[in-house]
Chains A and B, each alone.
Chain A
Amino acid sequence: MKELLSGNEAIARGAYEAGAGFAAAYPGTPSTEILENFARYPKVTAQWSPNEKVALEAGIGASLAGVRTLVAMKHVGVNVAADPLFTFAYTGVNAGLVLVSADDPGMHSSQNEQDNRHYARAAKVPMLEPSDSAEARDMTALAFQMSEDFDTPVMLRSTTRISHSKGLLDLKEGGGPAEIKEYRKDPKKYVMIPAFGRLRHLEVLKRLEKLKDYAETTPLNRVEKGSDGGKIGVVTSGVVYQYVKEALPQVSILKLGMPFPFPEERVKAFAASVEKLYVVEELEPFLEGYMRSLGLKVEGKSLFPLFGEIDANMIAEKILGTPLYKKLEPGDYDPAEIPMRPPVLCPGCSHRGAFYVVKKLKLITTGDIGCYTLSCLPPLQAMDTCICMGASISSAVGMVRANPALADKVVAVIGDSTFFHSGLTGIVDSVYNKAPLTVLILDNRITAMTGHQHHPGTGRTLQGEETVALDIVDVVKGLGVKRVVEVDPFDTKGMEKVLKEELAAPETSVVVARRPCALLKKKPDPPFACDPELCIDCGICMRLGCPAISQGDGHVQVDAALCTGCTLCGQICPKGALKEAGETHE
Chain B
Amino acid sequence: MNNQEVTSILLVGVGGQGMILASKILAQVAIERGLDVKLSEIHGMAQRGGSVVTQVRLGPAVNSPLVEKGQAEFIMASEQLEAWRWLPFLKKGGTVVLSTQTINPMPVIIGSQKYPQNIAQRVEKAAGRSIAMNAFKMAVAAGQPRAANVVLLGALLREMGIGEEEGLAALTAVIPERFLEENRKAFASGYHFEK
Q: List chain A positions with a Cβ less than 8 A from chain B.
A: 2, 4, 29-30, 108-109, 132, 160-161, 164-168, 239, 242-243, 245-246, 311-313, 323-330, 332-333, 337-346, 371, 374, 377-379, 449-451, 539, 542, 545, 547, 549-551
Residue of B nearest to A110 (CB): B44
Tell me which of A132, A165, A330 contacts B122 (CB under 8 A).
A330
List residues of B (141-168) whose CB comes within 8 Å of A's CBs: none
Tell me which of A2, A168, A328, A542 contacts B111 (CB under 8 A).
A542
Whether the pair A168, B50 counts as a contact (CB closer than 8 A) is: no
Whether the pair B109, A325 counts as a contact (CB closer than 8 A) is: no
Whether the pair B49, A325 counts as a contact (CB closer than 8 A) is: no
Whether the pair A547, B106 counts as a contact (CB closer than 8 A) is: yes
**B85-93, B175-183, B184-192 - the one binding chain A:** B85-93
Whether the pair B88, A341 counts as a contact (CB closer than 8 A) is: no
In the bound complex, residues from chain A placing their C-beta under 8 Å from that of B107 are 339-340, 378
Q: Say if the beta carbon of B21 comes within 8 Å of chain A.
A: no
Q: How far is the CA of A61 from the CA of B127 in the complex (A)?
A: 59
Residue of A nearest to B111 (CB): A551
Tell me which of A132, A312, A313 contacts B38 (CB under 8 A).
A132
Residue of B nearest to A561 (CB): B145
With A165-B40, A343-B49 known as contacts, the answer to whether A325 contacts B105 (CB < 8 A) is: no
In the bound complex, residues from chain A placing their C-beta under 8 Å from that of B51 are 340-341
> Can you give 26 contacting A-B residue pairs, CB < 8 Å?
A29-B43, A30-B44, A108-B44, A160-B42, A168-B31, A168-B37, A243-B63, A312-B66, A313-B69, A313-B70, A325-B68, A327-B70, A330-B122, A330-B126, A333-B87, A339-B114, A343-B45, A343-B50, A344-B50, A449-B44, A542-B109, A542-B111, A545-B106, A547-B106, A550-B108, A551-B109
Supplied contacts A245-B64, A312-B68, A328-B94, 15 more A-B pairs, CB within 8 Å: A4-B27, A161-B40, A245-B63, A311-B64, A325-B71, A327-B89, A328-B89, A328-B126, A339-B81, A339-B107, A340-B51, A342-B105, A343-B47, A379-B110, A547-B49
Tell me which of B38, B47, B48 contacts A167 (CB under 8 A).
B38
B112-123: contact bitstring with A at CB < 8 Å (1 yes, 0 no)?
111110000010
Q: Say if the beta carbon of B14 comes within 8 Å of chain A.
A: yes
B46-77: contact bitstring with A at CB < 8 Å (1 yes, 0 no)?
11111100000000001111101111000000
Give the one of B89, B109, B111 with max A CB within 10 A.
B109
In the bound complex, residues from chain B placing their C-beta under 8 Å from that of A551 are 109, 111
In the bound complex, residues from chain B placing their C-beta under 8 Å from that of A326 are 70, 92
Whether the pair B42, A108 counts as a contact (CB closer than 8 A) is: yes
Whether the pair A328, B91 counts as a contact (CB closer than 8 A) is: yes
Q: Say if the beta carbon of B3 comes within 8 Å of chain A.
A: no
Q: How far is the CA of A274 from the CA of B126 in the complex (A)?
A: 43
Distance from A332 Cβ to chain B, minimum over Cβ atoms (Å):
6
Whether the pair A341, B38 counts as a contact (CB closer than 8 A) is: no
B23-48: contact bitstring with A at CB < 8 Å (1 yes, 0 no)?
01001000100001111111111111
Distance from A358 Cβ to chain B, minimum over Cβ atoms (Å):
18
Q: Say if the beta carbon of B15 comes within 8 Å of chain A.
A: yes
In the bound complex, residues from chain A placing their C-beta under 8 Å from that of B193 are none
Whether the pair B46, A343 counts as a contact (CB closer than 8 A) is: yes
Whether the pair A329, B38 counts as a contact (CB closer than 8 A) is: no
In the bound complex, residues from chain A placing their C-beta under 8 Å from that of B109 are 542, 545, 547, 549-551
Q: How far is the CA of A105 from the CA of B122 in the complex (A)?
A: 34
Q: Say if the beta carbon of B104 comes within 8 Å of chain A.
A: yes
Whether the pair B42, A325 counts as a contact (CB closer than 8 A) is: no
Residue of B nearest to A244 (CB): B63
Distance from B9 Cβ to chain A, minimum over Cβ atoms (Å):
14
Residue of B nearest to A374 (CB): B48
Distance from B4 Cβ to chain A, minimum over Cβ atoms (Å):
15
In the bound complex, residues from chain A placing their C-beta under 8 Å from that of B47 are 343, 451
Q: How far is the CA of A379 from the CA of B107 in the complex (A)?
A: 9
Tell me which of B39, B44, B45 contacts A166 (CB under 8 A).
B39
In the bound complex, residues from chain B placing their C-beta under 8 Å from that of A246 are 63-64
With A338-B84, A550-B104 known as contacts, the answer to whether A109 contacts B40 (CB < 8 A) is: no
Whether the pair A339, B64 counts as a contact (CB closer than 8 A) is: no
